[in-house]
Amino acid sequence: MELLQRVVGPLATNLYVLADPATREAIAIDTAIPSAAWIREELAARAWTLKLIVSTHHHWDHVGDNAAVAAETGARIAVHALDRHGLEDPRPLFAPFPIPPSFPAVELAEGGVIRFGSLRLQVLHTPGHTEGSVCLLEVEAGILFSGDTMFAGGWGRVDLPGGSAEQMVESLARLALLDDALRVLPGHGRATTIGQERRLLELIGREGRLPI
């Protein structure tokens, strides 16, 4: 797997593009504004074909360039069914620019698999930040794309519409069951590992609440 990362937009969103170098098929994860021009240039430089645009959740700082990237590449858009509304009818809180609507053609669901080339990403439904938040697990490479479910030393906000502290506790406790060596690439901030976050994850699971 080849992996590109770029920090974009006013909330410093981590945009990821990953590809199978053999087939040159690629996907993009969380295409925030502005990412369309950079994606176009990187695809052209590597002769990659973008097959899918994956939104880990519906917030504006993760989906703003979905429509532009889809129009330029022909890639389909994927999101969990419970977050679909936020792409089709975006109502961004405090966004400094308009967020165009985008229209998913692929529905992500617990236990589903995203396939491109020989690569496989397992879909984990991890609500808490939003109802339809997902993480994506690449077993062979040992990488978890955690969106805004988990950050290095923390987790996504639960006080926005669709957020739930109770669901976030359950999602984080679930992630504690993954291998220590698993590298976590979040929606914001630096990378971490499950092992580095284990103490916090297990504390949350044991106490059944988010630390204040």
pLDDT digits (tens, 9 = 90+) for 14-31: 999 999 999 999 999 999
Whether pLDDT at 212 is above 80 = no
Q: Which domains does the chain have, with CATH numbers?
A: 2-207 (3.60.15.10)
What tokens were used for 88?
Answer: 């089709």
Any bridge partners for residue 74, and if so which? Answer: none
Tell me if 55 sits within 8 A of 82, measured CB to CB: no
The overall average pLDDT reported for the chain is 97
pTM for the model stands at 0.97
Return all residues near 16 (Cβ < 8 A) that are at least 6 apart. 3, 4, 5, 28, 29, 30, 145, 185
Locate the DSSP E strands across 40-182.
Answer: 49-54, 76-80, 106-108, 113-116, 119-125, 134-138, 143-147, 150-151, 154-155
Q: What percent of the chain has pLDDT over 70?
A: 100
Distances (CA, A) of 109 to 9, 19, 78, 112, 136: 27, 22, 10, 5, 11
Q: Rounded to whole angstroms, how far apart are CA atoms 193 and 181? A: 6
Q: HSE, CB side, 13 Å, CA atoms: give it for residue 42.
A: 21
40 three-class SS? helix
